[in-house]
Amino acid sequence: MKTLLKSFLFMMAFLLLNSCDLERLPYDEITNENMDANSLETITLGNYAKLKEEYYYKTIHYVNEFGGDNVSLSGTTSDLFYNLYTFRRSRDNYYPGRVWKFTYQTIASVNNIIQELGEGESEVLDQVLGENYFLRGFLYFNLCNIFGRPYAQSPETNLGIPLKLTADLDDFPTRATVKEVYDQIVKDLLKAASLMGSEKTNIYASKEVAYAYLSRIYLYMGEWAKAKEYADLVIDSGRYTLLRGDTYQKYPRHVPESNTETIFAIRMVKDKDFQDYHMAWYSVGSVYAKINENGWGEMYPSSTYMELLNENESDLRHAFVVDQVKAPGVLWMLYVVGNESTNTYTYEHATVTKEGDEYVIDAASAALYTSDIVQKETDNGKIRYYVTKKSDSKKYYVKIEEALEDRNGFPIRFIYKVSLQEDQSHLYSPVYIRLAEIYLNRAEANYHLGNDAAALSDLNVIRERANIPELTLSTLPAGKDLLECILDERRLELAWEGHRKLDIFRNGFTLDRRYPGTHLSGSPVFPVVQPTADIVVEYIPQAELDAYPTELIQNP
């Protein structure tokens, strides 16, 4: 065994040392001094470094965020993320294709470590082994979310992904069921937690990172008691604290190691991972914002997301949305006009002037409305403004704000949630899991366990941190139950972090995208998507099907 291990270590170390893709700090600090003593750790650092590959973290983000209802693209594009955004699946889309290939390449390295390293040799090596078990569970979880149906939908029969669990080059498993995949993920994470004893920084796996993922995965599986149990372990560990105030509003600017809320992130390094034109224009954040003339800035918050955010002007999360004001002090009223029969939804606006306690519509537009004064009403103590159009006699609720620049008729609101680390325009270390989610996981689990008081308590932890009023069972918004309030908070808190699509479909909800955006341009269009629709999951890349030695069944 030692001879085999020595040969394996030499081969892997050689590959790592000669791979320009991995010559980036902090995961691949390989030196002659530590090669012999720490070879397994060195290879494990290489496995982490692979998670920095552009098309891995971008695809995870694009599939899970662009397929939700938090975003609105202001134009069409030839980039194949447009297919992910519009649900127009393709068997040769390079985003799913590359994440499929990348995942199994990385798992091959992870499986070699797991196969060659036995348990109990030392605490250090047990930690290394545990980290690789975690990485395998992490990789399979992300991949199954792309190619497998939500767990709530017949997991015993729906197909997930092939579970490659050996280092045997001739082992080509067929697709396991979604249940089998999730069971293996849980098994890997439990094994990881049992082996890891070191309190490493949050850019590496640890026992608490495994617990955090178990909380999320059990939530997806509907195993509420276990979701709560592992959320408790993370929260009660005391290792993490919620950021507050201005520090919270600058969340993406902090490096992960100095962020007490981040549980697990993949570290991107200034002047290493962000040093050229490509990264400035093709990182995740570049589609959301143009900063210092870097980036496209063409994907904006959806109108429905903004409606939810605007329910509380005091919400600290407004800081993640940066309005591009056209002329300071010039006001407009903004609203959405929709036609369900034609699937057309557009923004309309008119300039208004504040006169005393009233807003007066400019003369050029006033003739379109039944009054030249913006009307108002009080709802639960909040003032709501509206106009009635003469053309259809409909009442439209409006947002009065400073007039914004627009692109193709879309008001420009840049999203800064995944940019500006260390004040570099689009440098960002992808945050895969953080403490706020764990509180929301526990709130949702407690709701399903019938413990409304505990669910409200955790929900209000997040609301209080966001500087918005706490809720009680008697003050829930009209027409919403406690679960909907928890999911609304999850939508606000975790926006643009790759959760929304998964949260909608795992709960059996319909995705409603009847709002302005180019997802309703071209053909076919999907203004609503049922959780059981075929398009909820991506096709397995055709090239992978063709090359696979055994049969893989394609998604319908």
Q: How far is CA 343 from the centre of its chain?
A: 27
> Sign of dihedral through CA atoms 484, 490, 492, 496?
negative
Residues 82 and 159 grouped into a single domain:
yes
Residues 192 and 59 grouped into a single domain:
yes
Q: Is residue 165 part of a domain?
A: yes
Residues 95 and 168 grouped into a single domain:
yes
Q: Is residue 181 part of a domain?
A: yes
- Is residue 5 scored above 60 in pLDDT? no
pLDDT band at 282 (very low <50, low <70, confident <90, very high): confident
Q: Is residue 148 part of a domain?
A: yes
The answer to whether the peptide bond before residue 155 is cis (omega within 30 degrees of 0) is: no
- Is residue 30 scored above 80 in pLDDT? no
Residues 21 and 111 grouped into a single domain:
no
Digit-coded pLDDT (tens) for 250-266: 999 999 999 999 999 99
Tell me if 98 sits within 8 A of 13, measured CB to CB: no
User: Looking at residue 276, what is its pLDDT?
Assistant: 59
Domain boundary at 388, 413, 438, which? 413
Q: Which of 81, 127, 24, 137 is nearest to 296 (CA)?
A: 81
DSSP 209-274: HHHHHHHHHHHHHT-HHHHHHHHHHHHHT-------HHHHHTGGGS-GGG-SSEEEEPPP-BTTTB
What is the rounded distance in angstroms from the CA atom of residue 363 to the CA atom of residue 105?
Answer: 64
User: Looking at residue 118, what is its pLDDT?
Assistant: 87
Residues 184 and 111 grouped into a single domain:
yes
DSSP 92-122: T-HHHHHHHHHHHHHHHHHHHHHHH--TTS-
Contacts of 269 (CB under 8 A, 6+ apart): 24, 25, 26
- Is residue 16 scored above 50 in pLDDT? no
Q: What is the dihedral of CA 61, 62, 64, 70, to 10 degrees?
A: 100
Q: Is residue 138 part of a domain?
A: yes
Digit-coded pLDDT (tens) for 295-348: 999 999 999 999 999 999 999 999 999 999 999 999 999 999 999 999 999 999
The single-letter DSSP state of residue 548 is -
What is the rounded distance in angstroms from the CA atom of residue 248 to the CA atom of residue 500?
Answer: 21
Q: Is residue 432 part of a domain?
A: no
User: Looking at residue 21, what is its pLDDT?
Assistant: 37
Q: Is residue 551 part of a domain?
A: yes
Q: Is residue 372 part of a domain?
A: yes
Residues 91 and 64 grouped into a single domain:
yes
Q: Find the mean pLDDT for residues 473-500.
A: 97
User: Looking at residue 187, what is its pLDDT?
Assistant: 99
What is the rounded distance in angstroms from the CA atom of residue 477 to the CA atom of residue 384?
Answer: 15
Residues 31 and 72 grouped into a single domain:
no
User: Looking at residue 28, what is its pLDDT?
Assistant: 41
User: Looking at residue 34, what is its pLDDT?
Assistant: 38
Quote helix, strand, coil % in the chain, to nearest 5: 45, 15, 40
Token readout for 268 is: 């991107």
User: Looking at residue 214, what is its pLDDT?
Assistant: 99
* Helix extents (H) in 380-515: 435-448, 452-465, 482-493, 500-506
Place of tokens 């800081």: 319
Digit-coded pLDDT (tens) for 99-129: 999 999 999 999 999 998 889 989 999 999 9
Indicate the pairing of strand 71-73 with strand 358-361: unpaired
Domain boundary at 381, 413, 445, which? 413
Digit-coded pLDDT (tens) for 142-199: 999 999 999 999 999 999 999 999 999 999 999 999 999 999 999 999 999 999 999 9
Local structure of 542: helix, strand or coil: helix
- Is residue 546 scored above 70 in pLDDT? yes
User: Looking at residue 139, what is its pLDDT?
Assistant: 99
pLDDT band at 54 (very low <50, low <70, confident <90, very high): confident
Tell me if 5 sits within 8 A of 116, measured CB to CB: yes
- Is residue 365 scored above 70 in pLDDT? yes
Residues 530 and 556 grouped into a single domain:
yes
Digit-coded pLDDT (tens) for 509-530: 999 999 999 999 999 999 999 9
DSSP 296-319: ---EEE-HHHHHHHTT-TT-GGGG
Q: Is residue 287 part of a domain?
A: no
Residue 156's domain is classified under what CATH number?
1.25.40.390
User: Looking at residue 275, what is its pLDDT?
Assistant: 64
Residues 64 and 188 grouped into a single domain:
yes
Structural domain boundaries, residue 402: 300-413
The DSSP bridge partners found for residue 382 are 379
Residues 59 and 188 grouped into a single domain:
yes
Residues 190 and 77 grouped into a single domain:
yes
- Return the CA Rg of the chain: 25
Indicate the pairing of strand 382-388 with strand 375-379: antiparallel
Domain count, the chain: 3
User: Looking at residue 61, what is its pLDDT?
Assistant: 97
- Is residue 440 scored above 90 in pLDDT? yes
214 vs 16, higher pLDDT? 214
Residues 2 and 113 grouped into a single domain:
no
Token readout for 252 is: 């993406």
- Percent residues over pLDDT 70 in the chain: 92
User: Looking at residue 272, what is its pLDDT?
Assistant: 82
What is the rounded distance in angstroms from the CA atom of residue 428 to the CA atom of residue 417?
Answer: 9
Q: Chain-wide mean pLDDT for the chain?
A: 93
What is the rounded distance in angstroms from the CA atom of residue 353 to the CA atom of residue 306?
Answer: 23
Domain boundary at 359, 383, 413, which? 413
Q: Find the mean pLDDT for residues 6-29.
A: 41
User: Looking at residue 281, what is its pLDDT?
Assistant: 83
- Is residue 27 scored above 50 in pLDDT? no
